[in-house]
A and B are shown apart, each in its own frame.
Chain A
């Protein structure tokens, strides 16, 4: 490390921030969200700020480009980019800095590109604004940029709109637009959060390539595994303060602070089923597990489904036993959600059939299913979209209790019992969905599903939108409930770590085909199909951090 430090001292740091404080609101309502933090980034260095939503990491990053938002008050002893203080810039000076000295890559390119303009126009915007390239050469430069970030057929892609690109290409194009004017610093705010693992790996490699070109990178993420892939140093942020910082390998392999330890423990990748993810003092690690019986509760045979002339599911079969969890894993477009919809009888299979408790479930009129519907419930990624936003929790639960004719006099008691089951208190009853956090909403969604006393719960990306520690709590809750009520889960996710943690058996899907299935440990430890092997290889793992971080350091020492 000493070599690295001496190298950093050669030049002025690219970013130097001292005693940064950020507050919102005026007068008595002012709330400070960042409480005097120091950090620095050297040229060609990738520094990560890790923390959960609400920790202040995004607003910290935005303070470097003056986009903290209306009503934010930023104070500091020093904020310097490229050796120049940026504490008292005029609007015009900020505009000259943005895009040229600092580029920003946001989380999801689908919402980070103007959907009404072609990708080419979006990428060329910083070039036009800063006149870095003569207008006659802009098109050429856009093609070159797209090629640089590994977008095939750039001439074709530049005339397409962001919704016409796949998630991976879109994120690459977004990076191309951020680096168009060749900024010395790139801020990447959750750049891979919305992506499948293989695409995530490609985007991380792209950032690493920029680093080798001597660009500084500020990576904002909640995912320690992602951070471990590219970051040289890491700052762990909680409630607006850094609780720990240091070289990535040291922080992740030898965490000192409780919060860093909790973040690391919450990552499901490293934990087999039957261990708790969210550990609290005095609790045991071992989780009770449901007894898997030989009864088949849900059976799918050779499900095929086409939309138009595109077949999205080609012959999927599985038997879900009582108390068992089957994981279905695959990238977006693999047909996993369509499979779930057929299992739920929301879509009819073109051929093949589904049976519930040994009786037909597909291919029958809906009214014959109605009485059995409560037996199978579903939890989606975003409960907000399935809740009426004006309903209170009490009304949301009351609706489903009425559906199953729960005695009116007992409904209040049952609501409290349900909230208790999912770890919420009675104070939640009068809250509306928008007044709750993402984790609380997901708990209400689970309570609502449980109110029907289901035997099967289909979880369609149920924890994908949650922070790791919240995700850990929800996964623990699902496991506890499974053990308590001997429920069966069909667990759909693109996140391999989550699937591995929750599942007994797993189906790996690609382009509508099941390419591999079997016992979860067999599949994950001895993958047979090449696609499964690729998927597994692409998962960022914290345990590999020592080598990953060691490599660039050696290179620096050598130079």
Chain B
């Protein structure tokens, strides 16, 4: 028996590991499906209970909807089906990759979103990078730096968190576009047009992140191993950047995961303020027009985005902290 044990171990170990991995993947896909389905259902319910006349939305500019036209529209969009039937047929469409046709744009929702999505993704990514970079710099330079520095930055961060994005956007436009004429105030052409919206969207996130990061950095800097690192002759830069920073990354990425939802919400406001094309602006007008397929389509995109971001983050945890492997 003792001879067979190592053989058993070698045979059993990879099998168990791959089963664990398969289970984890299956679990994650299951969760993703539930999140997306939940988002669709909740939005569907909310939009339907908003009331209003979908025929009027679809007819759009036509002032007087004739009974014939009404009949046509109802038949084409299946509006006389029961609520449950409409819900099921929409889910069926989603499963086939069909998000329906926009009432107002009169084109497939998938196509309309695909056209606008890159603008928004660019904005989200630059805003996140900006937020993380600001949070890194501020927290690394201010952690454990005396009461005065700390309270000054804490006050600034509280303001940063509290300032509404639309106000910040308007201030940025007033100062840097109209005043200093450094950056354009509208549009999505080129890198320059990305600067102000990214700041408006990223600054509140940066303020939140740097507060949390400083807390974890300070906790780490009080750990016994930091004394060991200093005793090896390491300077402040090595202590903070090589050692403490990585310890704060776990909480930073967790927070980025949560905030990714907020960022999409923020994009709606920021795209509006800067007249920037993107799915944020698209959903804004779709809600006003009661353009249900577009609203639902963007909700699905946001849910998928949220799920992807959080999956990536879950995969990053064990890379950052080997104890989680």
Contacts and interface: CB of A to CB of B under 8 A. Distances in A.
Interface of A: 65, 67, 70, 91, 95-100, 102-104, 106-108, 111-117, 125-126, 129-130, 161, 163, 174, 177-178, 180-181
B233 A106 contact: no
A97 B231 CA distance: 9
B49 interface: no
Nearest to A65: B231
Contacts of B321: 115-116
B233 A112 contact: no
Contacts of A125: 229, 232, 234
A351 to B, nearest CB: 19
21 contacts: A67-B231, A91-B235, A95-B233, A95-B234, A98-B231, A98-B232, A100-B233, A104-B227, A104-B231, A106-B227, A111-B224, A112-B228, A114-B228, A114-B229, A114-B243, A115-B322, A116-B322, A125-B232, A129-B233, A177-B228, A181-B232
A112 B232 contact: no
Interface in B226-254: 227-235, 238, 243, 246-247
Contact of A112 (B225, B246, B247, B320): B225
B182 to A, nearest CB: 40
B322 A106 contact: no
Contact of A113 (B228, B234, B247): B228
A98 B236 CA distance: 13
Nearest to A96: B233
Indicate the member of B230, B232, B247 with the most A CB atoms within 10 Å. B232
Interface string B196-233: 00000000000000000000000000011101111111
Given A95-B235, A161-B322, A163-B323, A114 B225 contact: yes
A180 B234 CA distance: 14
A112 B224 CA distance: 5
A70 B243 CA distance: 19
Nearest to A101: B233
Contacts of A108: 224
B247 A116 contact: yes
A100 B232 CA distance: 8
Q: Is the interface of A mostly helix, strand, loop or mixed?
A: mixed
Interface string B298-325: 0000000000000000000000111100
Nearest to B245: A116
A117 B244 CA distance: 11
Contacts of A181: 232-233
Given A108-B224, A113-B225, A116-B247, A103 B231 contact: yes
Contact of A129 (B144, B238, B247): B238
Interface residues of B, number: 21
B234 A129 contact: yes
Nearest to B223: A111
Contacts of A104: 227-228, 231
A116 B320 contact: yes
B224 A174 contact: no
Contacts of B246: 116
Given A70-B144, A125-B232, 8 more contacts: A95-B235, A98-B232, A112-B224, A113-B228, A114-B229, A116-B320, A126-B233, A177-B232
The 10 A-B pairs of least Cβ separation, nearest first, read A104-B231, A99-B233, A98-B233, A99-B232, A126-B232, A111-B224, A95-B233, A112-B228, A161-B322, A129-B233
Nearest to B220: A114
B228 A174 contact: yes
Contacts of B232: 98-99, 125-126, 129, 177, 180-181
Contacts of A115: 225, 321-323
Indicate the member of B233, B234, B246, B320 with the most A CB atoms within 10 Å. B233
A115 B231 CA distance: 17
B324 to A, nearest CB: 10
A113 B247 CA distance: 13
Contacts of B247: 116
Contacts of B235: 91, 95
A107 to B, nearest CB: 8
A106 B227 CA distance: 9
Contacts of B233: 95-100, 126, 129-130, 181
A177 B231 CA distance: 10
Given A116-B322, A129-B238, A161-B323, A111 B225 contact: yes
A100 B231 CA distance: 10
Nearest to B146: A70
Contacts of A163: 322-323
Nearest to B144: A70
Indicate the member of B229, B247, B320, B323 with the most A CB atoms within 10 Å. B229
A107 B231 CA distance: 14
Contacts of B223: 111
Contacts of A99: 231-233
A199 B238 CA distance: 32
A183 B235 CA distance: 18
Nearest to B322: A161
Indicate the member of B230, B231, B322 with the most A CB atoms within 10 Å. B231
Contacts of A114: 225, 228-229, 243
Nearest to A161: B322
A338 B155 CA distance: 50
Contacts of B224: 106-108, 111-112
Nearest to A95: B233
A103 B229 CA distance: 11
A65 B234 CA distance: 12
A220 to B, nearest CB: 13
Nearest to A113: B225
Contacts of A95: 233-235
A96 B320 CA distance: 30
Contacts of A178: 231
B234 A106 contact: no
A298 to B, nearest CB: 35
A484 B57 CA distance: 87
A112 B320 CA distance: 19
Contacts of B322: 115-116, 161, 163
A531 B28 CA distance: 49
A201 to B, nearest CB: 23
A49 B322 CA distance: 37
Contacts of A161: 322-323
A311 to B, nearest CB: 13
Contacts of A117: 243
Nearest to A103: B231
A108 B238 CA distance: 22
